[in-house]
Amino acid sequence: MGRRILWGLAPLLLPYCALFCAGMALTMAQSLGLFLPVGPGEATLDHYLTLLEDQAMGQSLGLSLFVAFVSAAGSVLGGTLLALALWRMPPGLRRVGVVSKVGLILPHVAVAFLVLLMLSRTGLVSSALFQTGLISSPEEFPNLLHTGSGLGMILAFLLKGVPFALLLVGAVLFGFDIRLVQTARMLGAGPLRTFWSVTLPRLLPAMHSAFIILFLYAFGSFDIPFVLGESHPGMLSIRVFDIFFQRDLSQRPQAMAILTLMFVFAALFAMLYNRFAAYLDGWRRKL
C-alpha cells in the first residue's frame, strides 16, 4: 500500500483502531479473565466452558436467532412487495411511499412503545374487541406479548425493517431501466418469467444487503428486547445486560464471553452470507 493511500485512509483508520479494535480487544481480554476491574488475572477459558454448560444460554441463542431471522426475512419480503407495488404506480402516485419514512424515523424505543399501546392486554386492539363484544374482559385477549414467543419483538422489528428494505430495494427498482422489462415482454416472456429472469436478479443484491443488516441488527440489539422482551429466556443482549449490571463483578467475564461469541458469529455470518450470495448468483448465471 502506497504512502499516499495510507495518508488518505488515516483519518478513519486511527479512530477505527483506537475505538473499535481497542474496545473489541478489551471485551475479548475480559472474556478470558484479563484486565478486569479487580486487577490483572490469568488467562482462562473457564468462562466459555460455563456458558457451554448453561442450558438457558442455548434457549437465549435460539430465541435471538429466531426473532432475528423471522423479522429480517419478513421485512425483506414485505419491503420488496411494497416496492414492487409502488413501482407499478404512476410516478406521481408513487410519492405516497413517503409515509413509510415514519418507520425509519421513529427510534426503536418508540416503535416498541407503539406495539405496547396497540397489542398489550389493555391496549387498543383489546379495547376495540371489547367494544365490539368479542371479548368481555382484558384477560380474554390473548397474551401476545411477554410469552417467550418473541412475537411483540418481531412486530416491532418489522415496523422498522419493512421501510428499510423498501428504501434499499426501491432505490434499485425506481432507477431500473423499464426497457429491459419491455424487451423481455416483446420477446415473448410472460409476466412471471419476466419477473423471475429480469427483475428479480437485479433486486437480489439490495435484498441480500437488507437481510444481512436487519438480521444482525435484530440479533444484537438491546432497545426493543428491553421493552418488549421477557427475561426467561431473554434475548442474548438482555442476558449480557443482566450479567453485566445486576450481578457481581466476578461474573463479568461471562458477559464478555457472550459478547465475544456474538461478535465472531456476526462477522462470520456477514462474510459467509456474502460468499453464499455470490455463489448462488454465479450458479444462476450458469443456468
Partner 1 sequence: MKHAPTIIILALLFLLPVVVLILQAGAPGWRFPELWPELSFDGIAFLTARPRPFLTALASSLGYSLVTVALTLAMTILPAKTLAFTSFRGKNLLEGLLLLPALVPAMTFSMGLHFIFIKIGLADTTPGVILVLSMVSYPYMLRALATGYTLMGREYAVCARNLGASKWRVFLEVEMPQLLPAIAAGASVVFLVAFSEYFLVFLIGGGSIASFTGYLFPLITSSNRGLGALITLVFLAVPIVLFIVLELGLYRYHRKRRMR
Among 16, 174, 276, 279, binds partner 1 (CB under 8 A): 16
Establish if 118 lies at the interface with partner 1 (CB under 8 A).
Answer: yes
Range in contact with partner 1 (rule: CB under 8 A) among 38-46, 106-114, 177-185, 198-206 = 106-114
Contact 123, 228 (CB under 8 A): no
Establish if 163 lies at the interface with partner 1 (CB under 8 A).
Answer: yes
Establish if 82 lies at the interface with partner 1 (CB under 8 A).
Answer: yes
Angle, alpha carbons 221-223-229 (nearest 5°): 90
Give the span between the Cα atoms of 19 and 22, in whole angstroms.
5
- Residue in the structure block whose three cell numbers are 461474573: 251
- Residue in the structure block whose three cell numbers are 467475564: 253
Query: CA nearest 265: which of 60, 19, 50, 35?
Result: 60
Among 71, 80, 203, 219, binds partner 1 (CB under 8 A): 219
Give the span between the Cα atoms of 224 and 160, in whole angstroms.
11
Range in contact with partner 1 (rule: CB under 8 A) among 48-56, 117-125, 186-194, 277-285 = 117-125
Range in contact with partner 1 (rule: CB under 8 A) among 42-50, 83-91, 142-150, 192-200 = 83-91
CB 190 to partner 1: min, Å = 19
CB 208 to partner 1: min, Å = 13
Non-local (6+) Cβ contacts of 155 within 8 A are 115, 119
C-alpha cell at 9: 485512509
Range in contact with partner 1 (rule: CB under 8 A) among 52-60, 144-152, 192-200, 217-225 = 217-225
Among 38, 43, 105, 287, binds partner 1 (CB under 8 A): 105
